Structure 1
């Protein structure tokens, strides 16, 4: 039922799409509460997510549902705003939109959300070639509605528009330019069996229950990465399991009728979770998540070969805080077969930071070391040892999307400081190498840099990266990014050039 989302087939112009979203948002802003229930006892918010009430159950920070950014979640459906039913909890008129009761007892209610982001970015030597600089001006408009029918049933929908203009913009992908799309649309049924919370969610949805380098909503592009299918979960106080069967989505560029379920790529599996007791290492908040996943692709391409691939992921993920240290460690083995060839690949991601001081604004120093095996991808011979990054965080190594954990060894020391209140600045230096000199260098898209398999050199590039995020208010933030990529032997010998990247954007959320 979710394969095509063909409820509207007419093409929508850019202006009409934006006007439609803005008019809809204005109407929602003006909508009065349909009922005014008396305020009831409220649940309190957690430190990690003030919008998420504490519950007696599996900790929300480890349940695989989104990433907290300030008072909001990157995945807006993961927010819980029941505290806003109490007028005393609201800070401004927009807080009223977080709890619009539709019945007198408040058990049926609507939560509205939205985001507007305007971004400008410039890249020199696009594609690492000697070409004129590229400038893209990107616009994001999101409008979401979360309808709760009591404690056990909910429906979530999210419309999105992606606009782009600029100079020498190239051919933007459909997640950068899109007149209008139903970015998410799902229903959920949940309840309790014994002492466990159980639920099933079906439809178009984000899924990021795994290491960030393998599963991510990819907030850097204008539209998020979404999938169609079913997700079920069981959560106890200390253990959980998340089962899913999902298919990729191919965005169109026009109206609601051209976004298609990609039946050729099916992602399924199970992620387990264990909340480690807090006294395990003195004072800690750690989570241990084993996972077993399968990605089936009917027409996977490696080098000159195209064929059916069934890739299994067997992984372990340990993450959380130990005193003033924060860790995020993953190891996974990838098996299966591609075009009747055995897959035998490995990845290891080891990220850690240390807070230098006890205050909340103390600097943090860290390093992440990441490895992804490579071999047999372009040669078409023997076992395929080239690791897959699935749909992980595509800017983790390069804001310009030039690196991915495939045939990669990256060492990245970093430091984060907070010079003034609500301003966070991070600097990082990355040294990137390829473990297999006879295998190509790969981009975040999974495509190989042409001819890199035919040249000598293991050193791919060094990168200097800076990011500053200034939260002007809980709803408004400014972000700036800069990257200088210095090509080394593996890229330079294939004719690629250095590149600079500069971006800045303003984001408003409610």
Structure 2
């Protein structure tokens, strides 16, 4: 990472944030409940009794997956006028992640995944929020051409007693980041739409470190694509071309780079088809080069490529523990090519640079019943690694397994979720410079808090086991506790940070450490949320003796969305 050059965020930016927050507070009117489920084709209607909330239900986005949400979101709770996904039928269940466009509550991780078309009806009863006029701006008399505006301002600050186990930065580091993402979604009838989104970001702090182009960004184009939609062969089909977010993968494999300020953006095409009980998706992208410091100078990163195929099926409803189990099965292939430092591997006593091609073949089965929620997935990672300045290619043979299962009681006052999470990421033998590469990698920023909130340990050569307890006693506040225990899969391989391998040559044990942690999510109103994380990374005796340090971690996120 580049040396830090610290500066304060501009007063103008901070004033704008304060104004946005004040405007968001004005929109704290209660969401209208709706029981209309006519657009949900499932014959198994899900009814959940929950206490009436004095504020909007906490959604905890951008966390993905059914087991990641504080309260169970039934189909009837996810309809207009509370905001919803597109008309994807059975794939709209819960947060709609199974539709392939990321989770959506009132707002989505991808703003273009939100469906505000119901506001074409000019009836005032559908408009109960000061921002509704910005979500549907009719541009013709028949209201078939319309514009939807979206925005997010995020204030993030975090404190690290010993950053990256004491291997980076400065002890007692405090950092602050602000980012703005504002977009416009132009619908030209029902078959064509154009979406664009701007970004700017800044960062500062004390004893700070690691500010690079993922934290500081002058005004630039984060997303810009055109989408064509049509009904073909009984399916709702689409073709998206341009710069865009991509979220059609398990979030523990590939997500949106949420810890820094600048999310991932991909350049290329994506095509999809959604039938009543099956959908398919194919894509081919190159990365975005965000290194240029001038305004509107981001270009394509031709050294990074992402491509693949996904098929998601609605599993026939099963009867489990006295309730209906609604679930989905993903079968996917995810391929990627990397060059430069991100493709380097540990070999012998040093690092071997080069380029790598990885092929992920996997599955994920996930869903929920009355009191059960689960996600189980596995994959095999093949491919090759080509060392720089040589013609020798090493075969990749790695794998991963991920599972979360738990009990939830929606009718309880505490709305508890009690579960366990288990993860395995294969390791290799870094003593060798030849032979198979057995270390699994996930280079495209898996969901930040999936393993643990510090992000000090990356999903490579790792075994993780963690209990999870979450309570949501009121509709606008949720508290979660996790305590992941970490081990190395192979003691002949390193442990890894999010950007490189740690260098602890005297570390000979398998046990890495434990990270007790808690998170508090507050949905202050429809547009303002505040999430706080606290953790303590406690290294094992062996890792501490090798030079690593235990330390505390705190993070705060104050987010305004419309």
> TM-score surpassing 0.5?
yes
Number of the residue aligned with 1:47: 77
CA distance in 2, matches of 1:211, 1:247: 19
| 1:161–1:42 Cα change, 3 Å | farther
Match of 2:131 in 1: 94
- Which residue in the other structure is 1:478 paired with? 530
Query: In structure 1, what is the equivalent of residue 250 of structure 2?
Result: 211
Q: State whether structure 2 residue 344 is matched by structure 1 residue 301.
A: yes
Matched, 1:235 2:274: yes
CA distance in structure 2 between the aligned counterparts of 1:198 and 1:360, rounded to whole angstroms:
42
Report deviation, 1:357: 5.4
Partner SS for 1:265:
strand
**How far apart in 2 are the matches of 1:360 and 1:99?**
37
How far the C-alpha of 1:223 sits from its partner, in A, is 2.0
Contact preservation (8 Å) 1:42, 1:83: no
Q: Which is worse superposed, 93-102 or 245-254?
A: 245-254
TM-score, structure 1 as length reference: 0.88
CA shift for structure 1 position 295: 1.1
Alpha-carbon distance in 2 for matches of 1:167, 1:15: 17
Q: Tell me what 2:550 maps to.
A: 498
- Whether contact under 8 Å (1:17, 1:180) holds in the other structure is no
Choose the corresponding residue for 2:100, options 64, 71, 74: 64
Q: Which region of structure 1 is more displaced relative to structure 2, 488-497 or 404-413?
A: 488-497
* Alpha-carbon contact 1:58-1:236 (below 8 Å) kept: no
Match of residue 148 from structure 2 = 111
1:388 to 415, 437, 441: 441
1:221 Cα deviation after fit = 2.4
Relative to structure 1, the CA distance from residue 278 to residue 55 in structure 2 (aligned partners, 3 Å threshold; closer, same or farther) is farther
Which aligned pairs between 1:89-488 and structure 2 lie closer than 5 A? 89-129=126-166, 131-252=170-291, 254-279=293-318, 281=320, 283-299=324-340, 300-303=343-346, 304-339=351-386, 340-356=393-409, 358-359=411-412, 361-377=414-430, 379-391=432-444, 392-445=446-499, 447-452=500-505, 454-488=506-540
Distance 1:377 1:425 in 2: 40
What is the deviation of 1:287? Answer: 0.7
After superposition, the CA RMSD in angstroms is 2.8
Equivalent pair of 1:458/1:489 in contact (CA under 8 Å): no
Distance in 1 of aligned mates of 2:472 and 2:448: 25
- 1:75 matched to 2:75: no
Task: Give the conservation status (yes or no) of the 8 Å contact 1:394–1:404.
Answer: no
Judge conservation of contact 1:356–1:365 (CA < 8 Å) in 2: no
Contact 1:126 1:134 in 2 (8 A): yes
Q: In the alignment, is the contact (CA less than 8 A) between 1:302 and 1:378 conserved in 2?
A: no
Q: What's the CA shift string for 1:425-457, capped at 9, x where partnerless?
A: 000011000010110001123x101135x5211
Q: Which runs of 5+ in 2 are unaligned?
A: 1-7, 25-35, 40-74, 387-392
Match of 1:209, SS?
coil
**Displacement of 1:92 after TM fit?**
2.3
CA contact (8 A) 2:462 2:487 kept: yes
Give the deviation of 1:185 after TM superposition: 1.0
- Per-residue CA deviation, residues 38-62 of structure 1 (Å, 9 max, x unaligned), is xxx9987853464126736451321
Superimposed CA distance per residue, residues 185-236 of structure 1 (whole angstroms, 9 cap, x where no aligned partner) = 1110111013111111011111111111111113332221121111111111
> Per the alignment, do residues 488 and 94 of structure 1 end up closer, same or farther by CA in structure 2, a change over 3 Å counting?
same
Q: How many residues align?
A: 483
1:489 Cα offset (Å): 4.3
Aligned position for 2:66: none
Q: Report the CA distance shift for 1:134/1:264 in structure 2 as closer, same or farther (over 3 A).
A: same
Q: Structure 1 CA distance, aligned partners of 2:255 and 2:120?
A: 31
Distance 1:278 1:48 in 2: 20
Please identify runs of 4+ aligned residues in structure 1 that moved more than 6 A: 19-22, 41-45
Contact kept, 8 Å, 1:58 with 1:240, in 2: the verdict is no
C-alpha distance in 1, partners of 2:147/2:403?
41
Distance between the aligned counterparts of 1:319 and 1:218, measured in 2? Answer: 23
Where 2:214 maps in the other structure, the secondary structure is coil
Deviation, 1:326, is 1.1
1:72 alignment partner, SS class: coil
Give the drift of 1:148: 0.4
TM-score normalised by length of structure 2: 0.80
Structure 1 CA distance for aligned equivalents of residues 493 and 425 of structure 2: 12
Contact 1:65 1:75 in 2 (8 A): yes
Unaligned runs of at least 5 residues, structure 1: 1-12, 30-40
- Quickly say closer, same or farther: Cα 1:119–1:188, change in 2 above 3 A: same
CA contact (8 A) 1:18 1:161 kept: no
Task: Judge conservation of contact 1:324–1:355 (CA < 8 Å) in 2.
Answer: yes
